[in-house]
Structure 1
């Protein structure tokens, strides 16, 4: 009986969260049609990619970004990669140059044990990334739709709102699981650099210098709301897909609280 009640409670919570996000998605689409001028396509988006030994994923992401930029001539992008001496792609500068990207790329070479937190800190605080520019913290395994950067620009507001959509997940079989683990999202968060600096990133948090992995996005998601009073723009984005790759059983699996992603 207790297990049945627990299941009903969990299912009800899931339905309510999904219904809320569906409503926001519908409102977003209506607003886009009624007020297209609100969708600001001007300004640089910095795609910040932490990396260690994911050559196949990086190749797919670079091709993805190249195709998006070629189909959207008004885009202003900058790719920022923080690489922990990856051994599976040779010289990373030559690897990236083969794609002949039509936007600048900043390569940050890091050493030691991979730390997503340190990589994010180095990328966002890099001097070439302007304080008034958008940073898009992007896991290397993401597959992005053509309109993703227009969506980012329309959703992110300095001092007011950041963008953390509920995305889709590819299983090992190739099947798409959506929404991602009970609408919790990971690997995709966009905000202005000025807000990241106002938060002071991960400095002083339990994640500073962390060399294990998991929960970095959740920390930003929760802190931007609780400490800066910002709103999150969160809608279903099934066209944003996290490609399947082998994962170990880190904190990514069991330690995250669903309430943070409600």
Structure 2
């Protein structure tokens, strides 16, 4: 439903200026960098390692924006109209509540460990959203975006690899697909404070919900503790590698991609 603002001015959508729904210049710049660096890597323009670095990092940041946008748009449709005023529907990563955790930390972990760490944080007014199922759908929307991104990248890789372009381009694409896969799995783990935990939180009884809320602020610490444990970390990566093999992601190809983005070592 759209209505004009009394006395002229910018039209409103359900009482919210349309500017709140427009993609931000920051996001559009990231998309442009992703496309341009992809073309550069395809053609091995200049330093191809830098090309792949820009391609993977910008693609990863675009996926973070889409992940958080999915949370925000589902929350908006579920009843939290104020989320538009907080800037989350513009896909601007600088609007997230924790820029360091949302942008810097995930990129550092990608470069050092080759893991798609969950990032970003949009604040949702849970009191404005009725029903437990809607709360679960809000939390599910982000990981679903990562899953969809994974499947699209794998499909492009399986159809296009060997039909043109440089090996470096396809290695970067394979690495980006692998990062999306790890992000999908990590986001779906039932860890308090992460999306997987937030999906089940509304269905817990009051006692368990209070305990969950107590541990939720330490979700990232809990996640690192789980991955640091040799046995649990081994199970996690064995599972991720098994899914990657099932999808047809060549291990050697995303390993090459990981080596390429560390251009300072080459």
TM range (shorter): under 0.3
Structure with the bigger percentage of strand? 1
If the length of structure 2 is used for normalisation, what is the TM-score? Answer: 0.27
Q: Which has the higher contact order (CA 8 A, sep 6+)?
A: 1
If the length of structure 1 is used for normalisation, what is the TM-score? Answer: 0.27
